[in-house]
Amino acid sequence: MNRSNDFVVGVVVLGASAAILAFTLWLGQAHLGTTQREVVARFRDVGNAKVGNAVVIRGVESGRIQAIELADNGWVQVRMTLDHDVTLPHDPVVLLNEASMFGEWQAMIMDRSAAPTNEDVQRQLAEASAAGGGPLPGARLPDIAQLTAVAGHIAGDVSRVAERFQVAFDDHAARELRESIRNVSELSAELARTVRVQSRNLQQLSADVHGTLTAVDATADALQRTAMRVDSSTASGQVPRIIGNIDAASEDVRASSRDLREASRALARTQQRLDSVLARTDSVMAKIDRGQGTLGLMVNDPSLYQNADALVAQMRDLVTEIKSHPRKYLTVKVF
C-alpha cells in the first residue's frame, strides 16, 4: 500500500514538473526542434521596447526580441530571432513603434522605400546606415504620448489665434469697415457717373463721324459733277469758279479730318480713363471676393449684417416709443 502511494506521488510530481517546464517554454516562446536565424538592428533610442516583444514582417508576427544591449558611440543594439523560413526585404530597416494603446511595443522589419517619410525617422535611418557594420539601420516612431503632446500644442495655438482674432475685430475695426463700405459706395457712384459721361461723349463722337462722312460723300458727288461739266464750263468762263469750289471743298475736307482726329484723340483718352477705372474696380472687387481687407471680411462674414439688422429693429422700436411718449424723452421750455 505504501509502495502504491509512493508510485502515485512520483507520477504526480513528474507530471507537475513536465507541465511547469512546458509552461516555461511557452512563456519564453521557445522553438524546440526548429532552426531560427538571428538579426541585429542598431538604434539611437528604443523607447519602451522590451525583450519578448514581437517582430513583425509585412503584418505577420515572425519572431521575438531576444536582447537589448548598449553599444559603443551611444548606440543600442537589439537582437531578434526570426523563423527559419522568413525572407527579409531587399533593403531592410527596423522600426520600433507601439503595437497597442496599452504600451506594448513591436519591431517592424520592412523595405527602406516603405518607411514613413517623417523627417525624424529618415534622419535616424540615415545615421544608423552611416555608422556601417552588420546591424540593420533602425528608427523609433513617435509614440502616442508624443502625438498627444503635439496635438495639445496645436490646439493651444489655435486657441491663441482665435483669441487674437476676437481682440482684433473690435469697435475700431467695425468703424473702419463702415468707412470702407462708404468708400466703395462713393467709388461705385463715381464709376457710374464716369460711364454716363463717356457714353454721352461716345454718342457725340459717333454723330461727328457720321456728319464728317456725309460731308465727304457730298464733296465726292460735287467733284464728280464738276468733272462732268469741265469740258462745257471751260468755254463759258466757269473754270475759275469750279477751282474755287474745289478749294472750298478741300478746306471742308481738311477741317473734317481735323475734327475726326480730335474726336479720335478724345475717344482714346476717354477709353484710357475708363480702362483705369475698371481695372481699379476689378482689383477692389477681387480683394473683396478673396476676403482681403475689412470689406472682404464683412462680405464673407454675415454677423455684421445680422448685427446691423438688429440695430435697425431697435432704432425702429425707439422711434415708436418716442412717438408714443414724447414727453418722456423730449422736454420743451418756453421762456
How do residues 165-177 score in pLDDT, each as one tens digit? 555 555 666 677 7
Q: Where are the domains of the chain?
A: 37-141, 171-295
Cβ contact 47:68 at 8 Å: no
Cβ contact 112:42 at 8 Å: no
CB neighbours (10 Å) of residue 27?
Answer: 9
Report yes or no on whether pTM surpasses 0.95. Answer: no
Span of 24-38, 46-60, 170-184, 234-248 with lowest mean pLDDT: 24-38
CATH architecture for segment(s) 171-295: Up-down Bundle (1.20)
Span of 30-39, 86-95, 108-117, 276-285 with lowest mean pLDDT: 30-39
Full DSSP string of 224-288:
HHHHHTHHHHHTTT-HHHHHHHHHHHHHHHHHHHHHHHHHHHHHHHHHHHHHHHHHHHHHHHHHH
- Each residue's pLDDT tens digit, 178-229: 777 777 778 777 777 887 777 777 777 777 777 787 887 788 788 777 777 7
- Each residue's pLDDT tens digit, 134-151: 899 999 987 654 455 445
- Does residue 9 register a pLDDT over 70? no
Comparing C-alpha atoms, which of 129, 126, 106, 42 is closest to residue 77? Answer: 42
User: Which residues, in sequence order, are bridge partners of residue 169?
Assistant: none
pLDDT of residue 322: 75
Confidence of residue 251 (pLDDT cuts 50, 70, 90): confident
